[in-house]
Amino acid sequence: MLNNVFLKGLRDRRVSLIWWAVGLTLFVVLTIAVYPSMRNNPSIQDYAESSADLMKAIAGSIDITSPVGYLNSQLFFMMLPIIMSILAISIGSDALAGEEGRGTLDLLLSAPLPRRRAVVEKFATMVMAVTLEAVVLYAGMALLALATSMDISYLNMAEATFGLVFLALVFGTLALLLGAASGSKGLSIGIAAALGLGTLLLNSLGLIIEALDPWRRITPIYYYSENNPLANGLNWIHVLILVAITAVFLGASLFFFEHRDITV
């Protein structure tokens, strides 16, 4: 089993992934179940329009009563990017630095397994775990959208949901890189989470502060949300940018882990 780090990683995380799936499903159920009471509610829409700057910053739009506007404001603009990034960061930070901190990395490296392959399989575990949660997320949202008669494109919903995987992997792979370079799980979580929340805040403020608008382009979430994927689908050029950032972080992880003395 040690020769297949990918399968071992999924096996070791099966319980936590189940609880993540349960939590995501409950969150989506509670969020979408409220929508019928808000649909075409003029007072709620009037409030959003009277607080336009605030709504743009926290919801990305002042349209919060249409299906797309509601799901964006409650899920896709802020909450789901945060939640999925937290999942990826938790896995990425634990992949190498976590094992090193627990003293189990020596067991992994004592197997006839190149360090580079260990990193790649740890990364593959993270990709699969985040993707599986996205599948659960999409299934729950699609069923609830159907049950509440939401007039929405299920293809665009799929693109918006799986676009979250590309976004989350940027921060998850950053955490993997920091763990590979430092051996500190706490450091990798702290820096990756701070950058994730900081860039999310910068992107939000850039929608209402003109001077900050050009800086939105340095934030990963800009390349996820700018095209409004729930309404228009993903911009695949932007997706390639996220993939490229992830690839750079993965390459750096391979370099640092291969050349660093490991504490065991």
Residue 264 in any domain: the answer is no
- Work out the mean pLDDT of the chain and round it to a whole number: 89
DSSP conformation class of 262: P
Domain count, the chain: 1
Instruction: Please tell me which residue, 62 or 180, carries the higher pLDDT value.
Output: 180
Q: How far is CA 21 from CA 137, 185, 238, in A?
A: 8, 24, 27
The whole-number pLDDT of residue 260 equals 80
In this prediction, residues 224-229 reach a mean pLDDT of 93
Range of the domain at 189: 5-259
Residue 211 in any domain: the answer is yes
Residue 71 in any domain: the answer is yes
Given a contact cutoff of 8 angstroms between Cβ atoms, the answer to whether 204 and 78 are in contact is yes
What one-character-per-residue DSSP string does 181-214 give? Answer: HH--HHHHHHHHHHHHHHHHHHHHHHTT-GGGGG
Residue 194 in any domain: the answer is yes
Residue 94 in any domain: the answer is yes
pLDDT grade for 155, boundaries at 50, 70 and 90: very high
Least confident among 111-120, 127-136, 235-244, 250-259: 111-120
Residue 241 in any domain: the answer is yes
Q: How much of the chain, in percent, has pLDDT values that exceed 90?
A: 64
Please write the tens of the pLDDT for every residue from 172-212.
999 999 999 998 999 999 999 999 999 999 998 998 889 99
pLDDT grade for 164, boundaries at 50, 70 and 90: very high
Q: Please indicate, yes or no, whether the overall pTM of this predicted structure exceeds 0.75.
A: yes
Please write the tens of the pLDDT for every residue from 111-139.
677 888 889 999 999 999 999 999 999 99
Query: What six digits make up the tokens of 14?
Result: 């099966």
The whole-number pLDDT of residue 63 equals 73
Q: How far is CA 69 from CA 121, 148, 185, 231, 257, in A?
A: 38, 15, 37, 9, 44
pLDDT grade for 29, boundaries at 50, 70 and 90: very high
Residue 165 in any domain: the answer is yes
pLDDT surpassing 70 at residue 9: yes
Residue 20 in any domain: the answer is yes
Q: What are residue 255's phi and psi, to 5 degrees?
A: -65, -50
The whole-number pLDDT of residue 52 equals 64
Q: How far is CA 169 from CA 131, 209, 219, 232, in A?
A: 10, 28, 14, 22
**3-state secondary structure (DSSP) of residue 53:** helix
